[in-house]
Amino acid sequence: MLPRFWRKIRYRYDLIGTRCNTCGRNYYPPRNFCPVCRRRSSIEEVQLSGYGTVLSYSIVHDTPVGLKMEKPYVVALIQLDEGPIITSQLACEPEEVHDGMRVKAVFRKYGEDGEDGIIYYGTKFIPAEEA
Amino acid sequence: MRKVAVIGVGQSRFGELWDRSFRDIMLEAGVEALEDAGLEGKEIDALFVGNMSAGRYIAQEHVATLIADYAGLAELNIPSVRVEAADASGGLAVRMAHLAVASGMHDIVIAAGVEKVTDAGELSMEIMSSSADMEWEGFVGATLSAIYAMMTKLHMKEFGTTEEDLAMVSVKNHRNAVNNPKAQFKSEISVDAVLNSPYVAEPLKLLDCAPISDGAACVVLASEEVAKQYTDTPVYIKSSAQASDYLALHSRKDLTTMQSVVTASRQAYKQAGVEARDIDVAELHDSFTIAEIMAYEDLGFIEKGKGAELIREGIVEMGGEIPVNPSGGLKACGHAVGATGVRQVAELVLQLRGGAGKRQVECETALALNIGGTGGTAVVTILGR
Ligand SMILES: [Zn+2]
């Protein structure tokens, strides 16, 4: 888990995506190559607002070994306001969640590596206060 | 391209085969297939082996050679190729073997599939889940069942599919498996038993999910001309097609359609010169009950959103218009990951020969759908007499 986690740490902590200036599409997870424009891609990083809407979610009971302590937890498909859909955890009680719920990104712990005790952090989402 | 026949099929029992090794179960399926074909062994030109993750399940790589060796083919030094596409590895091995014979490169080729999962103990589920995007789905705890669960909720919301509809798929497949001597679960279950089983990832319950099983399957393919030397009743591969899609569900345009299944099936229908309504029997990839319902739609058995009608109205039951998963499917026959796609083809060959015993379906044209992960790979094989 370790090397590939650290390589993407900027994008996980800050919700930095990418934009293709050729077609105007935003990507998160970030892509260095636009699947629509391919060789004509013109990619730059873009800071996403961190606000989005829950499209679908599941309360997970059968978890990977490393996430046993967290169960049950909520995984959701969230459509960010800039367009991309991402998979993330919701840092709230399962009963609070509903489809169409407005959420915002926060920085949270994801788990730890049992053997060397390294703690992983990343983005989760919490219910957003509507203005 | 040459016409290709299946001249032999074999499969091990599927299930928790604690006392059997990877090599043992593969050999059991292989010996049965060679005996079925009437081959001695030295006639084999090449071997394709579907296997998802021997490296993680049993800490053994280089398994294509291992299998050639244990099958007694090392003396012949034939080429042996491992094929990996998560749990579509087996279907893809059949397709690669099909292409190797159809192209004229080889005359007799083996497609095998094998997985030994129970040695990995409590890690077996997360190894299976590595068919999803580990960096952007797996990292946040989105297991394979959680991703299918999110598709399920969208399908329910958009089309009115219910938890009872899903349960009926599981009940049907268990009922069918009673008549399959190789099946893992040979007992009927009730809709209530499914609905009352514990949640794995809501709304999917334990009995909506296929087990992860040990098992192996093997088919022998031959050119039409060579096949006639071995059998008077060959079954032909009328077409095979494979398609890919975005690895992660969140990158796909439509979250309740598997575009890989749509694309592969349309190519396969076209190549075989058939349409969806010509399919008499199908083995479909029910790793989760929702996957079977979505497959009805994406294969064009019924229009999008109406998949549940086929299970409600009994159309996919034994005796219905298109019986689906007479073997018991992944749910009840067992899901031996890389073996599954080969097992599906072996089942349909038995059906087309009229050799499926108590689970025999009257059929002339049959379809197998093998899916990798959440739909990143789909392999469709159409068989006929
Ligand atoms: Zn672009």
Domain extents in chain B: 4-122+213-235, 124-211+238-384
pLDDT at residue B287, rounded to an integer = 98
Angle, helix B289-298 to helix B259-272, in steps of 10 degrees:
50
Residue A1 has pLDDT above 60, yes or no: no
- What residues of chain A lie within 8 A of the CB of B143, using their CB? 60, 62-64
Compute, in angstroms, the gap from residue B255 CA to the centroid of ligand 1.
Answer: 21
Q: How close A28 comes to chain B (CA, Å)?
A: 9
Mean pLDDT, chain A, as a whole number?
89
- Which residues contact residue B74 at a Cβ distance below 8 angstroms, ignoring those fewer than 6 apart? B68
Average the pLDDT over B136-164 and give the result: 97
Q: How close A76 comes to chain B (CA, Å)?
A: 7
DSSP string, A59-91: EE-S--GGGGGG-SEEEEEEEETTS-EEEEEE-
Mutate which: B125, B134, B136, vs A, most A CBs within 10 A: B136
d(CA B180, CA B165) in angstroms, rounded, equals 24
Q: What is the pLDDT of residues B297-329, one digit of tens each?
A: 999 999 999 999 999 999 999 999 999 999 999
Residue B107 has pLDDT above 90, yes or no: yes
- Which residues contact residue B141 at a Cβ distance below 8 angstroms, ignoring those fewer than 6 apart? A60, A63, A64, A67, A70, A73, A75, A89, A110, A111
B153 and A5 within 8 Å at the Cβ level: the answer is no
Residue B42 has pLDDT above 80, yes or no: yes
Alpha helices in B103-162 (DSSP H): 124-129, 144-159
Identical fold for domains B4-122+213-235 and B124-211+238-384, yes or no, is yes
- What residues of chain B lie within 8 A of the CB of A5, using their CB? 139
- What residues of chain A lie within 8 A of the CB of B249, using their CB? 77, 87
The CATH topology of domain B124-211+238-384 is Peroxisomal Thiolase; Chain A, domain 1 (3.40.47)
Name the CATH code of domain B4-122+213-235 (choices 3.40.50.10320, 1.10.10.60, 3.40.50.720, 3.40.47.10): 3.40.47.10
Mutate which: A87, A103, A123, vs B, most B CBs within 10 A: A87
**In which element (H, E) is residue B265 found?**
helix B259-272
Compute, in angstroms, the gap from residue A27 CA to the centroid of ligand 1.
Answer: 10
- What residues of chain B lie within 8 A of the CB of A109, using their CB? none
d(CA B90, CA B372) in angstroms, rounded, equals 10
Structure ipTM:
0.95
Average the pLDDT over A70-89 and give the result: 96
Which chain A residues touch B if contact means CB-CB below 8 Å?
1, 4-5, 8, 29, 35, 55-65, 67, 70, 73, 75-77, 84-89, 99, 110-111, 120, 122, 124
Among B141, B147, B248, the residue with its CB nearest the CB of A63 is B141
pLDDT at residue A2, rounded to an integer = 55
Residue B219 has pLDDT above 80, yes or no: yes
pLDDT at residue B365, rounded to an integer = 98
Compute, in angstroms, the gap from residue A44 CA to the centroid of ligand 1.
Answer: 11
Quick check: pTM over 0.95? yes
Give the A:B interface size as CB pairs under 8 Å: 99
d(CA B180, CA B177) in angstroms, rounded, equals 5
Average the pLDDT over B356-379 and give the result: 98
Q: Which candidate, B196, B204, B194, places its Cα nearest to that of B332?
A: B194
pLDDT at residue A3, rounded to an integer = 62
pLDDT at residue A6, rounded to an integer = 66
A121-125, B29-33, B152-156, B351-355: which range is least confident on average? A121-125
| List of domains in chain A | 1-48 (no CATH), 50-131 (2.40.50.840)
pLDDT at residue A118, rounded to an integer = 72
- Reading phi first (left if > 0) and then psi (alpha if -120 to 50, else beta), residue A47 is in beta
pLDDT at residue A113, rounded to an integer = 67
Residue A121 has pLDDT above 90, yes or no: no
Average the pLDDT over B163-172 and give the result: 98
- What residues of chain A lie within 8 A of the CB of B135, using their CB? 4, 8, 29
pLDDT at residue A68, rounded to an integer = 86
Q: What is the pLDDT of residues B79-88, one digit of tens each?
A: 999 999 999 9
B198 and A61 within 8 Å at the Cβ level: the answer is yes
Among B150, B201, B250, the residue with its CB nearest the CB of A86 is B250
- Which residues contact residue B331 at a Cβ distance below 8 angstroms, ignoring those fewer than 6 apart? B169, B170, B173, B174, B185, B209, B210, B211, B286, B289, B325
Average the pLDDT over B273-286 and give the result: 98
d(CA B262, CA B341) in angstroms, rounded, equals 18
- What residues of chain A lie within 8 A of the CB of B142, using their CB? 60, 75, 87
- What residues of chain A lie within 8 A of the CB of B146, using their CB? 58, 60, 75
Among A17-21, A112-116, A118-122, the range with the most confident prediction by mean pLDDT is A17-21
pLDDT tier, A109 (very low <50, low <70, confident <90, very high otherwise): confident
pLDDT at residue B347, rounded to an integer = 98
Residue A115 has pLDDT above 80, yes or no: no
Residue A50 has pLDDT above 70, yes or no: yes
Cβ atoms within 10 Å of A114's Cβ, excluding its own: 9
A115-129, B226-240, B342-356: which range is least confident on average? A115-129
Q: How close A77 comes to chain B (CA, Å)?
A: 7
Q: What is the pLDDT of residues B43-102, one digit of tens each?
A: 999 999 999 999 999 999 999 999 999 998 989 999 999 999 999 999 999 999 999 999
Mutate which: A18, A56, A93, vs B, most B CBs within 10 A: A56
pLDDT at residue B341, rounded to an integer = 98
pLDDT tier, B123 (very low <50, low <70, confident <90, very high otherwise): very high
Mutate which: B156, B163, B212, B250, vs A, most A CBs within 10 A: B250
Compute, in angstroms, the gap from residue A37 CA to the centroid of ligand 1.
Answer: 4
A58 and B153 within 8 Å at the Cβ level: the answer is yes
Mean pLDDT, chain B, as a whole number?
97
d(CA A53, CA A105) in angstroms, rounded, equals 11
Average the pLDDT over A23-47 and give the result: 95
The answer to whether B8 touches B34, Cβ cutoff 8 Å, is yes
pLDDT tier, A116 (very low <50, low <70, confident <90, very high otherwise): low
pLDDT at residue B131, rounded to an integer = 97
Chain A residue with the nearest C-alpha to that of B256? A56
- What residues of chain B lie within 8 A of the CB of A85, using their CB? 250-251, 255
Question: Between residues B233 and B129, which one has the greater pLDDT?
Answer: B129
Average the pLDDT over B335-358 and give the result: 98
